[in-house]
Structure 1
């Protein structure tokens, strides 16, 4: 099958899946507020999405490496439908927590499998373009999910919004069951699974640094999705406009991802990722200071330019730094780090929000993003020094001075 066609088909299925996930996070937060939940309860709800995935993400990567991508994609699709059906059938706060846990766990299997498949479709140069295309689909779902949910809640209620999302997330699983050849069992460029443990992955300094950076970026995205509704409700915004503000972030991500291959060629993936962290950190400081809807939407757009570029870059670098035959496992490890941060940060920030409001939540995350950008800069400088030392040592062993040029013939 044509690799380009495989990428576009995978992106289409992923868009449907991610509309359900990203829409559900806004829906669950607003529904919890409807039931009278406070900032701590919202923080626990946000963390619930990540609790079980934290434990199974690496396993999900191994599954996609060993048995292929179709089974985890099908299981993930139907599992997400179940997660949305639970609060639909039992509209109560406990059902939201159970549904969130099932949604997060099911999405991990779908998510890792699609990343593994897209990464295997081509060489390193094609991989940047493929993940850029994949991330465009993520931007589309990030815009459509919150906007659809906000509009549906205001016009038809929470139950209909849940039913709409459940119907959408079941489509990929149904299509793969009926038309299994829509995607290959595994990527054409995929290697046989290689042995090794988690410690081997974490011993890779470049991979380890990328995993931490990825966690910071995803934390920035998720905290915004969960706490922007609280801030919006506090200043009197409707669910529809809250969805639009969040959707502006995704719209900006779509635009910047069109230019991602060019940016990566000009500045390298690592440097662009560092700039994204610094830009996102500065933007996060502004949110709690703003109450005008237009200004909130504008700053959300700017944040989307930073985080929208950073997320696919972290995926590309994770795949590039992974050992041969263990790309799915490395991507699963990336999600394990992400989920750990997603659990700790909402719980800590939720307690902080209950005591001091949303201001410290946004500002603490701004500090984390800025610190990540600064540490990335230091790591890059140290890595360049190490590479230069290695090159000098290699030249010395060959009997030539490090800076000398070969004499003309």
Structure 2
């Protein structure tokens, strides 16, 4: 529940920050800087925060993260303009990382195999629920108020509810584990990334999935605004992706079984994402954009939980938080780079080529993933 409130706020920002930036007269490149700023501190601090979660447990770090998010939103409201916006984005990005890392660490210790797939499926379902509601609230508020107004204060109240609900966590969530930096530091994660095929597969999935979400979430509202669609319609179209992801995630174990395993499910998901993302820049009507958003939602709904499951099962419990931190570091690095790259290409070529090249990049990652999975299969056969 705590992470649902967190993602309501996070997804509200996906609509609010681009709209507010455009109100300030931001250029495409400046918009990229603003959108990317949220992911700078998480990129630098994800692995150290993983060690912090391991040592102190998930509950305390989750609650602290919620209060940092409140502080970032209040800064945005109190300091109008670019300084408040970028400063708030920095704090919110750090808070979001800390809350997500805490929750994923708690869930990854609960089970293995299909049961863990189910747990992460339901976890992602609740997050998607927040992502569905958030853009609708933000779009409705902007339409009703004629601008952003006091919306950041509303978000701060929602984030506060997330922190208070985190206090209800009990059991393993309240306990930490004594570990050394040899298991949680940068060198330990670099060693895992070099030698552990499961970790490499998880990172590849994360690269493709997060690049898609970074481009889709950051620039779809801008593209829709350029088509002169209303704030309400923008909120609806942004929410469709999350809504589709939410609907399919409880059925992830069945989908994996139906297509013949995790490898095939992941490859299929990335192919669907490629089609949906590459076609966005050529779609100019709400129905066609909605169809493509459904495709992105289907693919994204599978890839995110699968990347977490693969990673959780590839490392020991004492290394899990650090490895999840490394995954989130890659996650935030892609989120940081994607808007900047897309903004630079957009300033030169327009939306059609920018979305098309983004889809091509996802396809290239899918090819690399197929090779990794083939190598993992060969290694397993040699071991057996």
TM-score, normalised on structure 2? 0.93
Q: Gapped runs of 5+ residues in structure 1? A: 1-11, 392-409
Partner of residue 337, structure 1? 330
Q: Distance in 2 between matches of 1:191 and 1:262?
A: 34
For residues 340-382 of structure 1, the C-alpha deviation after alignment (integer angstroms, 9 at most, x for no partner) is: 1222222122111112222232112101111111111122222
Q: Are 1:244 and 2:236 matched, yes or no?
A: yes
Q: Distance in 2 between matches of 1:119 and 1:51?
A: 26
User: Which of residues 36, 43, 63 is equivalent to 2:32?
Assistant: 43
Question: Residues 214 and 339 of structure 2 are in contact (CA less than 8 Å); yes or no, is this contact kept in structure 1?
Answer: no
Aligned equivalents of 1:84, 1:364: Cα separation in 2? 33
Q: Is the 8 A contact 1:253 1:304 kept in 2?
A: yes
Query: 1:169 — aligned with what?
Result: 159
Quote the Cα distance in structure 2 between the aligned partners of 1:253 and 1:192.
37
Contact kept in structure 2, 1:227 and 1:358, CA below 8 Å = no
Moved over 6 A (4+): none
**Structure whose CA Rg is larger:** 1
Shift of 1:185: 4.7
Query: Does 1:290 find its partner at 2:283?
Result: yes
How many residues align? The count is 376
| Structure 2 unmatched ranges of 5 or more | none
Distance change in 2, residues 1:123/1:241 (3 Å): same
2:315 counterpart of 1:322: yes
Q: TM-score w.r.t. structure 1 length?
A: 0.88
Aligned counterpart, 2:170: 183
Structure 1 counterpart of 2:128, from 132, 135, 139: 139
Corresponding residue for residue 116 of structure 1: 105
Q: What secondary structure sits across from 2:292 in the alignment? A: helix
- Residue 373 (structure 2) pairs with residue 384 (structure 1): no
RMSD across aligned C-alpha pairs, in angstroms? Answer: 1.8
Does the Cα contact within 8 Å between 1:278 and 1:373 map onto a contact in 2? yes
Match of 2:20 in 1: 31
Equivalent positions of 1:10-409 (< 5 A) are 12-156=1-145, 157-176=147-166, 180-186=167-173, 193=179, 195-196=182-183, 197-203=188-194, 204-266=196-258, 267-391=260-384
Deviations 1:385-408 (A, max 9, x none): 2332343xxxxxxxxxxxxxxxxx
Could you tell me how far apart the structure 2 residues matched to 1:187 and 1:333 are? 22
Q: Is the 8 A contact 2:142 2:148 kept in 1?
A: yes
- 2:150 match: secondary structure: helix
For the 8 Å contact 2:215–2:342, the answer to whether it is kept is no
Q: Contact 2:201–2:373 at 8 Å: present in 1 too?
A: no
